[in-house]
Amino acid sequence: MQQVPDSSTHTVSGLARYINVSFSTEADKARAAFVWVAKNIRYDTDNQYVLEFQREPSVVVQETLAKRRGVCRHYAELYTALARQTGVKSYVVPGYISLKAAVGHAWCVVQLDGRWYIMDPTWASGELVHNKLTQVSDEHYKVTPSRAIETYMPYDPLWQLLKSPRTPQQFQDGLTPPEPKLAFAFADSVALYEQQTLLQQLHAANRRIEQNGVKNGLTFNYLANSRQLEESCHITTYNAALHSFNSGVGKLNTFVEFYNRQFQPKKTDEQLKQLLPPIAADFSHARELLATVHLQGAENQTMVQEFSASLQEAGAKLQNCETFMEHYLRTGKLLRPTLFMNVSTIGGRNEMMR
């Protein structure tokens, strides 16, 4: 790729615009982004063993562009962000390398023309020899999954992108597993992954990692951290559900106060019809979020159960309000004031008092 104007190199969007204007095919764009990252980001030898996967990708990307240096995750996150803005599908994959002494690493998986490849912009920037990087290498561009597994072991076996994924023990021993009777449909699993929420992705990945075997300290620590992140996501989701619920309860209380004033000040029928749907939407959103929450510990589980009961109770109150509103709107305007009385012709009390 020709020299990119300095003004375009300070943001991902600026680099992406330059690449999109300069190249037309998906393959050329992927290659241009790869070469730029490998050539322009210096390897941070002082922090080569630091892998902070908890940090937000956007923060890592901006830091990488600002400092023009980093370790493997910085290279991988920047390349993936750049690839995506040029229309190339890419994901950052954490794992480890070496068949003898496992070393933590991060790289990218990229889909080009319907096929998956492993891309390692860190190693492409040069090999680390005596704490110094050698010249840029083309060896780590578009590596097939079957060849990459000889060197790269993802924590999550999904990202081996193989019909017969290797276990950590097979990787360490350099063994190729026999052909399975039922091949792993990794393409279907990736498609599902792309439709999942972050919480669902974490839960599925943690399950796959555990099932594939935890055979070294790196995998153990990564899984422990990933489980903590999953738990944090559950708490975040629980709080989001609680926020939505409280929003609905606030609106419901406002409606009840409006009812107690016998719908004064007056509103048109169209305005009245708009009062309850937002409450229903808040409660529905809270239920959807809460259904995905699976907190550990008896105390947390009790908290979720009590929240669910509160949702059910509030939903019943909302249903009474909806029934009353339907009755009210069907009733002639001269008779509507009578509906606010405690006694009515329907069951002895009006719908709101049940």
pLDDT, one tens digit per residue, over 2-37 is 577 777 788 999 999 999 999 999 999 999 999 999
pLDDT value at position 323? 94
pLDDT value at position 37? 94
**pLDDT for residue 337 is more than 80:** yes
pLDDT, one tens digit per residue, over 90-143 is 999 999 997 667 789 999 999 999 999 999 999 898 755 545 555 556 788 999
Show the CA angle centred on residue 80, arms to residues 38 and 92, nearest 5°: 100
Which pLDDT band holds residue 152 (cuts at 50, 70, 90)? very high
Name residue 133's beta-bridge partners.
128
Whole-angstrom distance, CA of residue 12 vs CA of residue 90 = 15
pLDDT value at position 12? 94
pLDDT value at position 246? 98
**pLDDT for residue 151 is more than 90:** yes
Instruction: Average the pLDDT over 205-229 and give the result.
Output: 93
**pLDDT for residue 179 is more than 80:** yes
3-state secondary structure string, 49-116?
CCCCCCCCHHHHHHHHHHHCEECHHHHHHHHHHHHHHCCCEEEEEEEEECCCCCEEEEEEEEEECCEE
- Residue bearing tokens 């040029």: 86
Q: Which residues, 6+ apart, have CB-to-CB distance to 187 below 8 Å?
A: none
- Residue bearing tokens 């989001």: 240
**pLDDT for residue 348 is more than 60:** no
pLDDT value at position 350? 66
Instruction: Average the pLDDT over 250-264 and give the result.
Output: 95
pLDDT value at position 6? 76
For 313, other C-beta atoms within 10 Å of its C-beta total 10
DSSP for 235-278 reads HHHHHHHHHHHHHHHHHHHHHHHHHHTTS-S---HHHHHTTSHH
pLDDT, one tens digit per residue, over 227-238 is 999 999 999 999
**pLDDT for residue 1 is more than 70:** no
**The one-letter amino acid at 194:** E
Higher per-residue pLDDT: 133 or 150: 150
pLDDT value at position 126? 73
DSSP for 187-215 reads HHHHHHHHHS-HHHHHHHHHHHHHHH---
**pLDDT for residue 276 is more than 90:** yes
Q: What's the whole-number average pLDDT of the chain?
A: 90
pLDDT value at position 130? 47
Of 166-180, 254-268, 281-295, minimum mean pLDDT range:
166-180
Whole-angstrom distance, CA of residue 101 vs CA of residue 190 = 29
Dig out the tokens for 336 from the structure. 């509507």
pLDDT, one tens digit per residue, over 48-80 is 666 666 778 899 999 999 999 999 999 999 999
pLDDT value at position 125? 85
